[in-house]
Amino acid sequence: MSTDLGNPTTNGHRHSFDLVPVAETPQSAKEFKSDQEVRWCPGCGDYAILAAVQGFLPELGLKRENVVFISGIGCSSRFPYYLNTYGMHSIHGRAPAIATGLATSRPDLAVFVVTGDGDALSIGGNHLIHALRRNINLTILLFNNRIYGLTKGQYSPTSEVGKITKSTPMGSLDHPFNPVSLALGAEASFVARTVDSDRKHLTAVLRAATEHRGTSLVEIYQNCNIFNDNAFEVLKAPETRDDYLVRLEHGQPIIFGKDATKGIKRNANGSLVLCAGDDPDVLVHDAHADDPSVAFALSRITGADLSTTPIGVFRDVVRPVYDDLMSAQLDQATAKLGPGDLGALLTSGDTWEIN
């Protein structure tokens, strides 16, 4: 898969981590492995994501000491322990808020957030949407397995309606979130989706996400083989995946299916519909479109059986980054007033002297 990199620039910074020092010598995946024993269940999709991230970080080539992974609570949130970078395994749902404080006060750091569907969308939903809206310079990896794993198998905010779990013996009643739709609605400037088992695609999406300055949200469909096994099997099995997956590539027509027989086009009323792969009206994907409505429509096109599941970069647009704006205000104030003088501050306002 090729991902269009485009040339987005924000406040003069071309890339997400322009202010982060670069490693002087080539790095290896091994350098990014910590000495901690990995403790996910055998067969968990998290292993593949960890390997992909460890494999990708040397390509990113940043000084290891300037990379920070922050997580919340849940299976995925153990992630930082297994990377030999700086890291914090924090509290449930709050990783985006903690990362906001770190990223805004330290522009020289590459800050990643690792979270899950429960952590990011249930208990931490508020922080996620506000990080996205502010466009903090963060790369958020949202592992979506549509189940609570660490608490042993309750339904999550992305579980399908009617799911039988320990806490919903008669089926869950909750209508699920679609994380991509949610992120787009929360003013996200970069939203992508990928799958744990497709390392090549996952790596390409990570590459695109880290090239974007601002908040990048990457939803990763991840298999929980203990509590929700094969939840995304149709997207992975060789016999079904080509008919179910829609690989979005910027500037390319949206065509899918085994023999590229299917396509997506826009109706006169703006809605998206399936069409033949060779239909002259097949939609050309524009991840850089300022108007998010097509990206949103693409996020809604998937059926309950995961048919027509787009993966790839839905949206990648340039928008001012909170961290840059905050730093600019500090610079502006200092340029105007000079560096702060505490003595002068204390004597501002009415003073009087007693002799």
Partner 1 sequence: MSSKQIQQLDRVIIRLAGDSGDGMQLTGDRFTSETAAFGNDVSTLPNFPAEIRAPVGTLPGVSSFQLHFADHDIMTPGDAPNVLVAMNPAALKANIADVPLGADIIANSDEFTMRACQRIGYAANPLEDGTLTDYRVSAVPLTSMTVEALRDFDLSKKEAERAKNMFALGLLSWMYNRPTESTLEFLEKKFAKTPVVAKANIAAFQAGYHFGETTEVFSVSYEVKPAPMRPGVYRNISGNLALAYGLIAASKTTGLPLFLGSYPITPASDVLHELSKHKSFGVRTFQAEDEIAGVAAALGASFGGALGVTTTSGPGVALKSEAIGLGVMLELPLLICDIQRGGPSTGLPTKTEQADLLQAMFGRNGEAPVAIVAARSPSDCFDAAIEAARIATKYRTPVFLLSDGYLANGSEPWLLPDVSTLPDHSVEFATAPNHETADGNGEFWPYVRDEQTLARAWAVPGTAGLEHRVGGLEKANGSGSISYDPANHDLMVRLRQAKIDGIARDIDDLEVDDPSGAAQVLVLGWGSTYGPIGAACRRVRARGMHVAQAHMRHLNPFPANTGEVLSRYTKVLIPEMNLGQLAMLVRAKYLIDAVSYDKVAGMPFKATELADVIAATIEGVNQA
Q: What is the DSSP letter of 57?
A: H
> 42 or 339, CB closer to partner 1?
339
Residue 334 touches partner 1, criterion: CB under 8 A: yes
Task: Quote the CA–CA distance of 217 and 203 in Å, as a whole number.
Answer: 14
Task: Enumerate the H helices of 135-288 as residue ranges.
Answer: 179-185, 199-211, 233-236, 241-244
CA distance 93 to 101: 15
Q: Which two tokens stand for residue 200?
A: 């090549």
**Phi/psi of residue 192, each to 5°?**
-140, 165
80 lies in the binding site for partner 1 (CB under 8 A): yes
Site residues (CB under 8 A) for partner 1, limited to 173-232: none
* Per-residue binder mask for partner 1 (CB under 8 A), 281-300, x = binder: --------------------
* Closest CA relative to residue 46, chosen from 10, 89, 16, 82: 82
In degrees rounded to 5, what are phi and psi of residue 133?
Answer: -65, -40
Binding track over 248-287 against partner 1, x by CB under 8 A: ----------------------------------------
CA 197, CA 336: separation in Å to the nearest integer?
53
Contact range with partner 1 by CB under 8 A, out of 52-60, 124-132, 222-230, 252-260: 124-132
Site string for partner 1, 13-52 (x = CB under 8 A): ---------------------x-x----------------
Q: Identify whether the C-beta of residue 235 lies closer than 8 Å to the C-beta of residue 306.
A: yes
Closest CB to partner 1 among 103 and 318? Answer: 103
Residues 169 and 164: their CA atoms lie apart, in Å, by 5
According to CB under 8 A, which one of 59, 108, 278, 305 is a site residue for partner 1? 108
* From candidates 3, 10, 85, 159, binder to partner 1 by CB under 8 A: 85
Instruction: List contacts with partner 1 (CB under 8 A).
Output: 34, 36, 63-66, 68, 70, 73, 80-81, 83-91, 94, 97-106, 108-109, 126-127, 130, 326, 329-330, 332-334, 336-340, 342-343, 345-347, 349-355
